[in-house]
Structure 1
Amino acid sequence: MPNRFKAALHLHTTYSDGELTPEELKAFFQKKGFQCLIMSDHAEALDSNKMEEYVARCRALSDDRFCVVPGLEFAYGFETGSLHLLGYGVAKYQREEAPVKMIETIHRLGGVAVLAHPYPPLMPQIAPMKETLDGIELWNTKYNGRLAPALWNYYLLKEVRGRRPEVLGFYGTDFHWKTQYAEMAVWIEAEELTPPLLLAALRNGKFYAEKEGMRLTPDGSLTPRQEASFERKERLYRIWRKMVVGARAPFKTLRIPIPRRLKALARKVL
């Protein structure tokens, strides 16, 4: 019987725009009972030399009880927004000019290619990626909020799986700050706690996510009750987010420091 390992996905450190060092990140999640971190620092903040150092630190933090898997997040700017592609398991720095080509490179480097927090206006850019993606991030608790995922992500996965049932739904924390919500756990089934076996399990759908007692599957299936609940909570989150953004606006306009309490609230909500 394979073992189950508690993992956190989509994580950032001081190597890009995260608040914690890799060592601090491990300590933070280890206290919460996690056994594995699947990293995704922004590729734009690294180069080949920094990448070697980054991978070495991830490996130094890993043993038979805890595993830190290196990875990168690649950003592509378009007129309608920014498209982000996760390369879980990528341990070598290489960047391509087009997302489709980047997916090929992620695969060649042994990684898992996942579309991060999809954005509807980017559908023309997402369309050619559907043929080679390994997965779509269904719920990003930073980008979508802790209350509910964006149902559009589920509809997108359903459409893609209609042609390619091997494409999976992923769940990520998009962790940057220690005040963020960090209770989205992904349980990975693998024989051992090693990067190759963990990545193979992610690639083959041998995982599920769990959030506050709710189980979320890689096939993206939802009951009618879950879908209705998510729809209500998604509307609530949009209202909540609008209020927090509105409260921050005067401080940004006047270029004065945002009060610490408001900043902490914003980091929990946004």
Structure 2
Amino acid sequence: MPFHDQVLLAPGSNRYKGNLHSHTTNSDGLLTPAESVAAFRERGYDFLCLSEHDLYTDLSGEFDDEGFVILPGLEASAYLYADETETVRLRCHHMHGILGTDEMVAAAERRFSHLERLEPLRFHGSWDGEAVAERLAAELAARGCAVTYNHPIWSRVEPDDFCGAKGYFALEIFNYDTVNESGTGYDVTYWDLMLRRGRRVLGFASDDNHNEGLFDDAFGGWVTVCAPELTRDAVVRALLAGDFYSSSGPEICGWGVRDGVAWVECSPCERVNFVAGGPVNAGGTVIAPEGELLERAEFRLRGGETYLRVECVDAHGRTAWSNPAFADEA
């Protein structure tokens, strides 16, 4: 099926920069919530999710104003231990519950309250990883939350632990903390595996900052959403709709498909990857001539692509990732 003509991340739309994965002294971070908010605001961020481990916080009343929004939420956990001593963690699920749209909140069976703890699920020796992931996602959704799946490489999970699990809308494809901690922060391979299997999951980049000073873990991964206004509801709607891109450096100004040609406009980059699903050798890469940089790249589709996403890579290897577009969606 050929791709329909479409424009994504349309130029001229309001854009807001935010971090969806952040820790403070309310869990295992070094900065207080006030210090963290001040630091991100100083660096030009418009919104922030304080996603404490197994602890829901809603500090929107304290920090929201016309120029900044808190996304209430938590990072929920499930652990597989080697045995009942719980001294060795073999695998884990870390999943965000981010307070959803107004409609999601209104339909919630029971909302989290500020500083409410959600005890981790614990298993010993073996588990049905996919069933556990779905159970955790369902619990967060029942509380009115939009759900993401975080850092699978770091978590040591296998594809059958989470790739087919239902209930989360986005996969953390870049985690700045775990990139610098142990080289386990790039998860695009799992993302493409899921997309090739027909799972229409979005991708996001984040910091997972703890600010402990052991290594750089802040301001290195973020999302930029296209939304009509800076409110929690508008930002979450844009996230759920895929109206955002992720980045560790470059900007994506806009991209799309016209007359069978995929195109992207971006900040100066050395290469652009048009990553596609479909038969072997689908997709392609455009590399800037030596001594030059790309601000626009085009790639003629061959036909048969099932999905398409764009990666813009700058001279330092920093990357911006679009969300996928699908051939059967106008």
TM over 0.5: yes
1:37-186 correspondence to structure 2 within 5 Å: 37-43=48-54, 46=55, 51=56, 54-55=57-58, 57-78=59-80, 79=82, 80-89=90-99, 92=112, 93=116, 94=118, 97=121, 98-119=132-153, 121-123=156-158, 124-129=160-165, 131-145=166-180, 150=185, 153-177=187-211, 179=213, 180=216, 181-186=218-223
Alpha-carbon RMSD across the aligned residues, in angstroms, is 3.4
* Residue correspondences, number: 218
Q: After TM superposition, give the deviation of residue 216 of structure 1 in Å.
A: 11
In 1, the alpha carbon distance for the partners of 2:251 and 2:182 equals: 12
Structure 2: which 5+ residue stretches go unaligned? Answer: 1-11, 83-89, 101-110, 122-131, 255-272, 276-283, 288-309, 318-330
The 1:221–1:37 alpha-carbon spacing in structure 2 relative to 1, beyond 3 Å, is farther
Q: After TM superposition, give the deviation of residue 105 of structure 1 in Å.
A: 2.5
- What does residue 265 of structure 2 align with? none
Identity of aligned residues (%): 24
Please tell me whether the aligned partners of residues 209 and 216 of structure 1 are also in contact (alpha carbons under 8 angstroms).
Answer: no
Greater strand share, 1 or 2?
2
Q: Deviations over 1:174-209 (max 9, x none)?
A: 011064342323111111211121111111111112
Q: Deviations over 1:145-202 (max 9, x none)?
A: 3998755x21211122234453101111001106434232311111121112111111
Opposite residue 51 of structure 2, the aligned amino acid is S
In 2, the alpha carbon distance for the partners of 1:156 and 1:216 equals: 26
Structure 1: which 5+ residue stretches go unaligned? Answer: 234-270
TM-score (norm 2): 0.57
Q: After TM superposition, give the deviation of residue 31 of structure 1 in Å.
A: 0.8
Greater helix share, 1 or 2?
1
TM-score (norm 1): 0.69
In 2, the alpha carbon distance for the partners of 1:39 and 1:191 equals: 23
